[in-house]
Amino acid sequence: MNTRILPALRHDVPASLVVFLVAVPLSLGIALASGAPVVAGLIAAVVGGIVAGALGGSVVQVSGPAAGLTVVLAQTIATFGWATTCAITVVAGGLQVVLGLSRVARAALVVSPAIVHGMLAGIGVTIVLGQLHVILGGTAQSSALKNLAGLPAQIVGHHSAATMIGLLTLALLILWPSLPQFARRVPGPLAAIAVATVVSVVGGLTLPRVNLPGDLLRLQFVPQLPSDGWAGFALAVVTVAVVASVESLLSAVAVDKLHDGQRADLDRELVGQGAANMVSGALGGLPVTGVIVRSSTNVSAGAKTRASAVLHGVWVLVFVVLLGGLIQNIPLAALAGLLVHVGAKLVNPGHIRQVRAHGDLSVYLVTLIGVVALDLLKGVLAGIAVALLLMLRRAMWSGVRAERDGGDWRVVVEGALTFLAVPRLTKVLGVIPEGATVRLELVVDYLDHAAFEALANWQQAHENSGGTVIVDEIGHPWFANGKQGNPTRSRAGAEPALPRWLAPWSDWQASTVPPRSEEGDATLHGASEFHRRTAPLLKDTLSALASGQRPPTLFITCGDARIVPNVITTSGPGDLFTVRNIGNLVPAGQADDSMNAAVEFAVGVLGVREIVVCGHSGCGAMTALADGGRDHASPLQDWLRHAEPSTRREDEVALDGAVPAARPDRLALHNVLQQLDHLRHYPRVAEAEARGELTLTGMYFDIGSARVSIWDSRSGDFVPAGATAPAAR
């Protein structure tokens, strides 16, 4: 055990000292901003470090009083008084423990990041507006709006020595990150508070300072339940529990991204935070949460285990008990300067850019303004309401547009088509002139009853007026099923549809070919489909390939229409140099000029790194070869003579451990291996393979099971793709 603990302590002890130096001034400042006794911040720092550090689920998270609860606490203390606020903290901690034991911690992560960031920004603005009054020699008002209204008069009014100390603290905090690295080894908050305190003491300035009880070890704080107003008490409990839990869990998730060690157990973290709040409230401390500032400092200082968080709490306790007199020299204006800096950092420009990029800026701003203008709970509820409205709008979004298509019209409907989109749908359809031929392209992932009726009624009316409506439904047939009297009721009942570039023509063209088209126009109709939908997606890829090709693979396969090389290899333009013939044959002795030219060009000019020979089940060439039907000469029979060496191979070849029952399929496996042997007699191929620059691969596609198998020379078997590492076959 010692061999594991001692190395960790070599990292954790120094890290705990760094975090302790950051925690003391922040804890004092947060208590000041909350309107609580200053010592309550120190109690929360001690309890958060020791209790939450020992019991929590994150090994490197540091807990203590957090700026995120200052607004809630200020309102709670003003309403209930300090003793009842301590009781609220105890009960809120118990609620956190129950939630943690119920294993619902991850539910807190469903809260939109825009709401969380907006809440923190609102808290930051509220702190800044209040503490600026303290820096300028005044007193913070009861609300952020009153602080904002009174700020101009406070700025132009008389400024005392407190203003100088507060601005000095703020200036040091702003400039500290730009100092040389050796100076920045001292935490900025500690340095700023220390310098401001020394200046105020040496200068003999008369200022309001921190006031601590005479004997910190004999605190008599006892939580007190209210005599009435239980509904408000319960609401305050839930508010403190929810805000503290969300802040702690999000902090734990963020801290996990900063280190490579053990991941946080969020349910255990919630239990640890709850236990710490019960103890902190019972001793007269502020509520405890996981704090990202101290936690990130802990990680960057090299902490490895939870010992660092626990020790930081011990150091706070030792410092307060032994050196409490030093704390009482700290000017309140210096703590106010620290809080202005902390509050301003809560309005994070990076978070604003992030939520804006995701389209959630309105949620962020509503939450921020709600927290500042109303209160934290109402601001968060307003943010949740806006987030739900945005989610509903996005979920129900539908794009509807009409455009001329030569002499006809094209109407495209995308997204979820619901009753909310019916007014816009009917407006767009209303521009289509009577008698026009219209292609109605439905690219929808949901179609409700109201939207179906609107489309069906318009189609009937347009066709009755002499027009033509061709319904082209891409994906699940929502509209077609409804027309047949069997509507799909929900997305859960919608079966996935093949994309058209993969689905056979017969699966989609029957309902979309214009009536005036002939059956032979199917290829032209497919080309039109390519131009409308596929070409815009491939344009950039094909533009990059316009000047030349450098495919990595020469793919030799059968001309069978059921084999689509790019589909079974999940490849695209520029990936495969494909040669197709009857039976995927490579004539021995270089007897075919076409194949000779293809191999020469692929290996010698294009420099392919792989040649694949792909056979398949149900091959007509192999069936003809197995039947031996060569009674009369024909071009096909002349070609199949190049496959005769495959019939003379005697060793059985298995497909995924079993020899195929049908002789043509067994012959197809042998044929793949025989063509690989023929390839190795091509000089270009032999030289490239000898240099290790070329790999020959045998492939087999079972059409019925849609299964691709690869020849594995080590097992002497065709095995499912992915079951063997690429190697020379």
Average pLDDT over all residues of the chain = 86
**Which tokens in the block code for residue 526?**
């497919």
Q: What is the distance between the alpha carbons of residues 435 and 467, in angstroms, rounded to a whole number?
A: 4
Same domain, 366 and 241: yes
Last residue of a domain, one of 497, 520, 535: 497
Residues 172-216 pLDDT 10s: 989 988 988 888 778 788 788 889 999 999 988 888 887 776 655
- Among 452, 481, 497, the domain-final residue is 497
CA distance linking residue 310 with residue 19, whole number of Å? 11
Predicted pLDDT of residue 506: 58
- Angle of CA points 403, 408, 413, to nearest 5°: 40
Tell whether 360 and 454 lie within a shared domain. no
pLDDT surpasses 90 at 227 = no
> What is the average pLDDT across 45-70?
92
Question: What whole-number distance in Å separates Cα of residue 360 and Cα of residue 383?
Answer: 10
Same domain, 466 and 609: no
Q: Which of 85-94, 398-407, 567-576 has the highest mean pLDDT?
A: 85-94
Minimal CA–CA distance to 273: which of 243, 307, 232, 303?
243
Are residues 433 and 404 in contact, defined by beta-carbon separation less than 8 angstroms? no
Share of the chain above pLDDT 70, in %: 91
Q: What is the pLDDT of residues 675-687, one digit of tens each?
A: 999 999 999 999 9
Question: What is the mean pLDDT of the segment spanning 38-44?
Answer: 90
Asked whether residue 243 carries a pLDDT value surpassing 60, the answer given is: yes
Judge if 60 and 116 occupy the same domain: yes
Domain count across the chain: 3
CB 90 within 8 A of CB 278: yes
Q: Looking at the domain assignment, is residue 315 inside a domain? A: yes
User: Same structural domain for residues 80 and 200?
Assistant: yes
* pLDDT at residue number 589: 87
pLDDT of res. 715? 86
Q: Tell me whether residue 442 is in a domain.
A: yes
Whether residue 94 is found in the same domain as residue 11 = yes
What is the pLDDT at residue 216?
57
Q: How far is CA 333 from CA 29, 172, 177, 683, in A?
A: 10, 14, 22, 87
SS3 404: strand
Rounded average pLDDT over 309-322: 89
Q: Return the top range by mean pLDDT from 23-27, 187-191, 468-472, 494-498.
A: 468-472
* 0.85 exceeded by pTM: no
For residues 566 and 651, state if they share a domain: yes
Query: Is the domain of 439 the same as that of 311?
Result: no
| pLDDT of res. 122 | 87
**Which domain does 681 fall in, by range?**
550-720
Take residue 260 and report the two structure tokens written for it. 């490579």
Q: Which pairs count as long-range contacts for 157-162, CB under 8 Å and 24+ apart, including other chains?
A: 161/200, 161/203, 161/205, 161/206, 161/207, 162/134, 162/135, 162/136, 162/137, 162/207, 162/208, 162/331, 162/332, 162/333
Alpha-carbon distance of 138 to 158, in angstroms, equals 10
Are 177 and 105 in the same domain? yes
Residue 362 reports pLDDT greater than 60: yes
CATH number at residue 459: 3.30.750.24
Check if the beta carbon of residue 48 is closer than 8 Å to that of residue 189. Answer: no
The strand ranges marked E within 559-656 are 576-581, 610-616, 654-655
> What residues have CB less than 8 Å from 12, skipping those under 6 apart?
303, 304, 305, 307, 308, 311
Give the model's pLDDT for residue 681.
93
Q: Is the dihedral of CA 50, 51, 55, 59 positive or negative?
A: negative
pLDDT in tens, 693-715: 999 999 999 999 999 999 998 88
Tell me if 382 is assigned to some domain: no
Q: Which of 462-466, 602-606, 626-630, 674-678 is predicted least confidently?
A: 626-630
On whether residue 532 sits in a domain, the answer given is no
| Residue 588 confidence (pLDDT) | 92
| Structure-token pair, residue 653 | 């070849």
Last residue of a domain, one of 461, 481, 497: 497
Mean pLDDT of 586-591: 91
